[in-house]
Amino acid sequence: MDERTAERLLYLDETCAEIALLAERGREAYDRDIAVARACQYSIVRLAADIERLGSGWIAAHPSVAWTLIRGMRNRIAHDYLTLDGGIVWEAVTQHVPTLREQLQADIETAKAMLSGPPDR
């Protein structure tokens, strides 16, 4: 893993952590508060952007991760928002994103260790 990929993984991890905080607010808050719903939606769009920045080679090297699910959700939010099903978004927030984060945890830990070492001289 190169330094750039490590940085991108940490951005992805940060986005997943933010989504987890939104999920803690609960489904009722998602349904009741448009700001929470929009924050969840935006965070999924941002997560898809984080994934894209990893590059197609890195993504291809991790075939067990449901990359297309996040990309597909991003496209629905960005382009088909009038028909967006809140239940599906909530499922992504509470189930699919945590699974993604868990699948990448070893790589995230490697990235953290790599970037926390002594500075290059």
| Averaged pLDDT for residues 79-105 | 91
> Percent of the chain beyond pLDDT 90?
64
Domain assignment present for 120: no
Q: pLDDT confidence of 43, banded at 50, 70, 90?
A: very high
What pLDDT shows up at residue 25?
A: 97
Q: pLDDT class for 47, splitting at 50, 70, 90?
A: very high
Report the CATH number that the domain containing residue 21 is assigned in CATH: 1.20.120
pTM: 0.87
Q: Which domain holds residue 108?
A: 3-112
Q: By three-state DSSP, how is residue 57 classified?
A: helix
Per-residue pLDDT of 11-37, as tens digits, reads 999 999 999 999 999 999 999 999 999
Please give the tally of structural domains in the chain.
1
Residue 119, Ramachandran bin (φ over 0: left; ψ between -120 and 50: alpha; else beta): beta
Confidence of residue 117 (pLDDT cuts 50, 70, 90): low
Amino acid identity at 107: D
